Structure 1
């Protein structure tokens, strides 16, 4: 069974990769999306097995796999997209409905073009601010934003961390799929943790999830680190998506409150519109330029 599922997963990945540069929000998207021959053949086989009552468990696993694989692709294109658990459930529902329609009518290509892609487009459109959608309707292709995972050494240097004296415990918010910094810190004896919405490695000290849902307990962390992650998204919501901006501000307030006395929040890019409003008797802010137009900040909660 596992080998069979892996084979189907391979063709699903291939199909998503085939359309990686296609814009689902293009007004003629249902005609511009390609259907990869291997994927088509795999669906034919799965439908035949379903008719014989042999594919129900496989199809449920593949629905979840396909939804999560598409999410990874969408995040690669636009790191600022936010898909909450409700939206993920909607996405899985679209794949279930598509599969059920194919089982009922036996039409793969027509179901994809007339039902599946239009449903996906409506779902994706609901994730964007309204003013983003109009220009996207005219473009059949999209770019790809690669979010690099920085080396531990670069981040230590960037924030001028003294790893032998860093206040613990440490959490890396937006630690990246491989949690490089967290794993490095733990390798030298630092009590470090990480949170990210997509993880390729799974350890007890890592949590996969949305940082907006992560419970930052008061006075919990000696150090919080977030390199080109949380505050990058805060800047985006400030300029492009004011509906989410208030949520990010509240979460950042929680993060400051979660610092232990004498603890530090190290992040890039800086957010002067937040830092300038912090109480001077509670927090000490250091801001440093690292390149043209980009600053890092270290905010320390003053020891009482």
Structure 2
């Protein structure tokens, strides 16, 4: 099946883009699309990743460590592989539908990559899961593009959209996540999800240096979201990949971010937010 077969003829792109910004894009045939969930995500049945790599290239991303070559690790954020047969692989599961299975979309990439706006690969997967499989779905993203699919998400019986928002500071965000949408844009998007009666969650994972826990907590509460997840960021234990390493480490030093400040922020969040999960327990399936 062609990658663009699910798109109306008049909407099909003239050709496949091979580069967006600094990211080189490849189109690959994947051996599988569903992966048995293990480790941190073992409470789920499957993880589903339509892409490999990530155009956002956050310099702290754990997913970079799963890259197959040292070159891919060193160039995290500069390459993306599109699993162009992802929908066809999922359609093969129709003979034995994934009824009531829990799926995490996605564990080592963002399902709403910038190229997704054109390819609609994740959207085609959502349609398949909705029409033939009736799964319990959690979507993890940091992209406002997720609002494009509100029409589909409203039809799922069990679905939750997690929006990653890691700091209250654009200065910090630009140091750690220079290619990502702004905090303001992400908060606006998840508010729109919530307003459409779709279960929504804000994940501060990891929680990067923040300026003011009290003000940040109030800003988060004002979104109307009822569910939040937090986990710590350990710059001394992590392995930075992207070329912005020095900017990121400078921010940690400048804001004197440490366990004490993290714990103080979590205390404030617990007092002000409706519900706060921590680490793996917070990510438990809905």
| TM-score between both structures, scaled by the size of structure 2 | 0.30
Considering fraction of residues, name the structure with more helix. 1
Bigger Cα Rg: 1
Greater relative contact order: 1 or 2 (C-alpha under 8 angstroms, separation 6 or more)? 2
